[in-house]
Amino acid sequence: MSGSVLLDTNIVIGLFAVDSSVLSHLSKTDSIFIPSIVLGELYFGAYKSARPDDDVRRINELLLTSTSFPVTRQQRRITARSKRFCVSGAGR
């Protein structure tokens, strides 16, 4: 596979976990794009982790070899409401 790929949070986590399938697919791409909403989720998880400094460093290193792009105001609102709903436990 050549060309560009757009990563979601689960794929980036797989990349960080050195998942061989993820690494194999990404090694065949020309460019990697990461939505800013995914970056927000990754940083959120990193700051909650047992090793926040290490996890933030890995995210920052990923950004050196990929391109991030912004999301719209409406997308941010939907994500914030969804996150609030999930964190509050209302969705359980």
10 Å CB burial of residue 68 (0-12, 13-18, 19+) is middle
Closest by CA position to 13, among listed 45, 35, 52 = 45
Instruction: Judge whether residue 73 has pLDDT over 60.
Output: yes
**Domains with residue ranges and CATH for the chain:** 4-87 (3.40.50.1010)
- 34-45 pLDDT, tens digit per residue, is 988 899 899 999
How far apart, in Å, are the Cα atoms of 77 and each of 23, 74, 82, 83, 91?
A: 32, 5, 8, 10, 18
- 8-35 pLDDT, tens digit per residue, is 999 999 999 999 999 999 999 999 999 8
